[in-house]
Structure 1
Amino acid sequence: MKALSVRQPWAYAIIHSTKNIENRGWPINYRGDILIHAAKTCTKKAYFEAKEFCQDMGVIIPELISLRRGQIIGIVTIVDCQFSPVASGWGMPEQYHWKLENPREITPIPYIGRLGIFEVPDDLVMEVAA
C-alpha cells in the first residue's frame, strides 16, 4: 500500500482532527487510500510553530512527547490535487494542495519512512487495518 511520511504534529492533525489538505511542492495523480506515516524527526521549534498554527485553526495538539513518531498511524483517502497561488485554511500559498478525506486511525506500526510516496507491504498493513 502507498504511504506518505508527514511530520508531527501535522500527521496527528490529519488523522485525529480536521486537517484535510496536505501541502506539497509537487503534484500527485494518485487517488485513493494512502497510509500516513508519522515521521521520526521533529524539532521543538517546528513543533511549536505547527502547534500554534493548528491552534489558530481550532485544533488542540498533544504535547510533543506524547505524539507517535516513526510509525504508521492511519489511513486517509486522497481525492484531489490542485495548485494554489494563495493560502486558505490548511492550504499554504504556492503549493499543491492534496485534498484528503476519510481519515482512519489504525493500530500504530513501527516503520521507517522515506521521502515521497513509498510502498509498505500489504500484509503488514492488513493485520492492523482490519
Structure 2
Amino acid sequence: MKALSIRQPWVFHILNSGKDIENRCWPTKVRGRVLIHAAKGMTRDDYDNGYDPLWASQGRVIELPPHNLLARGGIVGSVEIVDCVTTSDSPWFNGQFGFVLRDPQPLPFVPMKGRLGFFEVDESLLKSHG
C-alpha cells in the first residue's frame, strides 16, 4: 500500500481537526486510500505553526497535544486522496498543489522510516502491530 510521510502537527490535524488538504510543491495522480506516515522530524516552528489565529477566527479550536506526545517516526493512519488541485476554498490550502483528503482513519502506531514522496509499505507489517 502507498504511504506518504507528513510532518507533525499536520498529521494530527488531518486525523483530528478536519485538515482536508495536504500542501505540496509537486502534483500527484495517486488516488485512493494511502497510509499516513508521521515524519520523525518536527521543529519547534513546525509545532508553533500548528496553531493559527485563522482557525480560531473561524470558530475552530485546535488544541494540540504537547510537543513530545505527537507520534513521530511511523504509520499513524490512512486517508483517501480524491484529487490534486492548484486552487481551493479550504482554509488549509496554501501550497502550489493540494492533495484533497477525505475519510481520515487513525491506525495503531507502527514504527517505520519514512521516505520522500509516496513509498510502498507491506500491509503485513500493519497487521503484526494491530
TM-score by length of structure 1 reads 0.88
- Structure 1, unmatched stretches of 5+, are none
| Counterpart for residue 45 of structure 1 | 45
Question: Would the aligned equivalents of 1:55 and 1:61 in 2 still touch at CA under 8 Å?
Answer: no
Between the two proteins, the alignment pairs up a number of residues equal to 127
Question: Would the aligned equivalents of 1:2 and 1:120 in 2 still touch at CA under 8 Å?
Answer: yes
| Counterpart for residue 92 of structure 1 | 94
Does residue 1:108 correspond to 2:109, yes or no? yes
C-alpha displacement of 1:51? 2.8
Q: Could you give the per-residue CA deviations for residues 22-77 of structure 1, whole angstroms, max 9, x where no partner exists?
A: 00111110110001111101111221022336854622211111100101100000
| Counterpart for residue 78 of structure 2 | 75
CA–CA distance in structure 1, aligned partners of residues 64 and 89 of structure 2: 22
One-letter code of the match for 2:86? F
Question: Would the aligned equivalents of 1:22 and 1:91 in 2 still touch at CA under 8 Å?
Answer: yes
CA–CA distance in structure 2, aligned partners of residues 126 and 65 of structure 1: 26
Instruction: Determine which structure has the larger helix proportion and give its number.
Output: 1
CA–CA distance in structure 1, aligned partners of residues 17 and 75 of structure 2: 16
Question: Over aligned residue pairs, what C-alpha RMSD do you find?
Answer: 2.0
17 and 6 in structure 1: CA distance in 2 versus 1, 3 angstrom threshold:
same
Question: Would the aligned equivalents of 2:50 and 2:64 in 1 still touch at CA under 8 Å?
Answer: no
Question: Would the aligned equivalents of 1:9 and 1:51 in 2 still touch at CA under 8 Å?
Answer: no
| Counterpart for residue 26 of structure 2 | 26
C-alpha displacement of 1:126? 3.8
15 and 88 in structure 1: CA distance in 2 versus 1, 3 angstrom threshold:
closer
91 and 62 in structure 1: CA distance in 2 versus 1, 3 angstrom threshold:
same
| Counterpart for residue 125 of structure 1 | 126
C-alpha displacement of 1:102? 0.5
TM-score by length of structure 2 reads 0.88
| Counterpart for residue 68 of structure 2 | 65
SS state at 1:50 partner = coil
SS state at 1:51 partner = coil
- Structure 2, unmatched stretches of 5+, are none
